[in-house]
Structure 1
């Protein structure tokens, strides 16, 4: 495939994923300010801890087999039934066992809203599995629209139950569970290939092959959890639930950038697995793509750091406004989280997922170490800083680890200049006032459009062509 066709495939995939992913996150983001007026920081902190625990247990519950199913289905065209059936059998068995264990634990040690927790955990895993299978089946349209449907239901219920009925944190739990299962039903109705299963064979060999691929991803996923979510437990342990609620709100703003990376990396993975190999042409193409990626990423961060502080001071209630000073390093952490996902294609190409686990552990250890050492001295800044440094370490070690298999060449002087500018901004906005933040946002905005004019022009032309079609 020529470079122009690869670019077209990558842009098409990114735009398709953007329909659901960005719309999903944006709708979810819009209701965050409302939470801050109707839910106390300590209650939001407890809810956030429950969601964090779901993300911790998820890879243990599924053994990441949906990732393996995606990897096999995208290559084994027309032979997906055994892999889908094997995935279902393992997933349903594990969900049942986990539910029984949690119910048993709840008899002796009360679990906060145990049955809602089980419903959300199981629903979240089933939905994530179905969406991975949709990607493997190349039904990106349903993948994107199901994500948008899920969030529309979630946000609609949250608005009605939290803001109108004023049911508090229980409304968040109920809305979460209802939206998950409504989306699961929608996917199964609209994609008949996900209903074509045969549970009679035991699929033992299929499960063994897929688990051999997916089990090394579990420590990697847990390490990602340590870097992205363990901060909540540390904050809860060393400070309090209210601080955790404030930190949760600070995290919501960089999550918009995170979903942009996610939709790009979904498209990048689909295209790279199908089209790229170990060749000079592939290396040159990857270099150009990554250069465009980091210029766009840092450019957005330069704009968002001061702009987010301005927005949070306007739209949040007084109890949550302090969250604005923690977002700078969280944005930088999100950038390197995206870079780490981009570079992981080197492991997926060769089905060598052990390297991904190893580098993820390095980042997780650094993240947790900074958290535990610094939180007593600098409070919530330790959580934000550790997230950035942990993902930075993960990315650096991955770049080194894959250079023999799938090297990604970087202009380190230019890259370093972007990084230093981002760090200076993240620290500087702690003390700036609204006037300075406005000036910084305008300057950063002009720089972003000038520095990325070619990439933006390419995207706009692609969108324009799609509209004509």
Structure 2
């Protein structure tokens, strides 16, 4: 099978589950932002930012390590899987017990002393999800994308359904009759905490459904393999942690860096986090690509045309990302209704965040140089430099420019990481990327966005007409520059099967 068709097929399956599932989750954004004030929504954003950091640590980089050593052939796949699974199960149980015992001091440290339950609920979600990630990695490695997608959809559907059940159905029942069966399930003092309860229940359901993937996993553990796994994977923790700093530190730190009182800072955090969600289409595509791309890059690395294929993958990846950038920014007047009116003052950050996500996606493609050459420590250095840029810019720009400074910090960080990764990749794993073409599409996308903003100011033009014209121009450019070129490549053999 054509490797590009295989990658596209896998990305499509993962993407459908991600898009459908995250779209359901996405519907929670208007639901929650129309239900809760920005300061209350900020609590959700803050805790999920903390969870993002801890999720990286609790995985120990072993997801990538599993793919690497499973494909290596030195140990049977079931031994690699069992070694990873047993270690992660034990460490995550220990983590949860520790957090549960210390929940009150931690809540006080986070300035949420009135809700220590938020702390241990979050820890339980993290532990369940970390163990579940190993089983999902196995499904990806075995090309069982349909089962992967089904379970993800069930989990997300349960999460969304329970959130709406608690916050809408039970709350309404409580307001009508606090003594009713449904009304008794609503406790006003918990408030946004029902978001965590719904997530915890959905994560538990997911683990139950993954039971077949666990059945033969706990019986094997190879100490020699475990040592090599850790040596390979621990730098991935640094890379992942640095990545989370780049991605989520702003939401964890805004309430401490903004120059207002605590209530205003939490409201600003809520506004920024809600507008951040408007860049979710780009994030969905990148996530789907990651699910399919990582095992694909490893399994295809030994083919004679691997590097040419990787270059072609990046080219089409950027085309798709620029299309998504234009789709959201050109029709932002429509997308804005996904958040409550109290949150729309932050819409100016959406184009910047989308561009930052685009550069993140390019970095994901370029990062194969250290994964395929086992130079994960060097990859960690790149990520740490990016994290350093993020920290410095957040400390510098947020007190001056507010959450807009946080958005620009994302863009600068990912742009710098792309440049560093490209230069290192040229030395250690040269891939003939078409840099001019890739940059050309990015520049074209930004130019079309700016052109649409200018057209809106011209009499007789509205945002819908201007956006549609600019999007049509982009699609025509793709048709003329790349669609025929891809057809010729297939026709001459290229990367076809």
TM superposition score normalised by structure 2: 0.83
TM-fit CA distance, 1:263: 1.4
Match of residue 217 from structure 2: 197
Match of residue 235 from structure 2: 216
TM-fit CA distance, 1:158: 1.5
Instruction: State the distance in 2 between where 1:411 and 1:198 align.
Output: 46
Q: Indicate whether 1:73 and 2:96 are aligned.
A: no
Q: Which has the larger radius of gyration?
A: 2
Instruction: State the distance in 1 between where 2:339 and 2:59 align.
Output: 37
Match of residue 283 from structure 1: 307
Kept in 1: contact 2:282–2:357 (CA 8 A): yes
Instruction: State the distance in 1 between where 2:302 and 2:462 align.
Output: 48
TM-fit CA distance, 1:202: 5.1
Q: Indicate whether 1:266 and 2:285 are aligned.
A: no
Match of residue 442 from structure 1: 468
TM-fit CA distance, 1:10: 1.5
TM-fit CA distance, 1:324: 1.6
Instruction: State the distance in 2 between where 1:159 and 1:458 align.
Output: 46
Instruction: State the distance in 2 between where 1:157 and 1:336 align.
Output: 35
Give the paired residue count: 450
Q: Indicate whether 1:53 and 2:47 are aligned.
A: no
Match of residue 270 from structure 2: 245
Kept in 2: contact 1:329–1:426 (CA 8 A): no
Residue range with higher mean Cα deviation, 382-391 or 121-130: 121-130
Kept in 2: contact 1:238–1:376 (CA 8 A): yes
TM-fit CA distance, 1:365: 1.3
Instruction: State the distance in 2 between where 1:292 and 1:219 align.
Output: 29
Q: Indicate whether 1:229 and 2:248 are aligned.
A: yes
Q: Indicate whether 1:122 and 2:142 are aligned.
A: no
Instruction: State the distance in 2 between where 1:325 and 1:317 align.
Output: 15
> CA RMSD, aligned part only?
2.7
CA pair 458-358 structure 1, distance change in 2 beyond 3 A: same
TM-fit CA distance, 1:337: 0.9
Kept in 1: contact 2:250–2:406 (CA 8 A): yes
Select which of 49, 60, 65 maps to 1:63.
60
Q: Indicate whether 1:159 and 2:164 are aligned.
A: yes
Residues 199-241 of structure 1 show CA distances to partners (whole Å, capped at 9, x for unaligned) of 4x65221211111110010110011101100001231112311
Instruction: State the distance in 2 between where 1:314 and 1:126 align.
Output: 37
CA pair 152-441 structure 1, distance change in 2 beyond 3 A: same
Q: Indicate whether 1:316 and 2:339 are aligned.
A: yes
Instruction: State the distance in 1 between where 2:451 and 2:160 align.
Output: 34
Instruction: State the distance in 2 between where 1:431 and 1:42 align.
Output: 35
Q: Indicate whether 1:305 and 2:304 are aligned.
A: no
CA pair 37-433 structure 1, distance change in 2 beyond 3 A: farther
Kept in 1: contact 2:452–2:470 (CA 8 A): no
CA pair 427-382 structure 1, distance change in 2 beyond 3 A: farther
Structure 1 unaligned blocks of 5 or more: 460-469
Select which of 29, 37, 42 maps to 2:39.
42
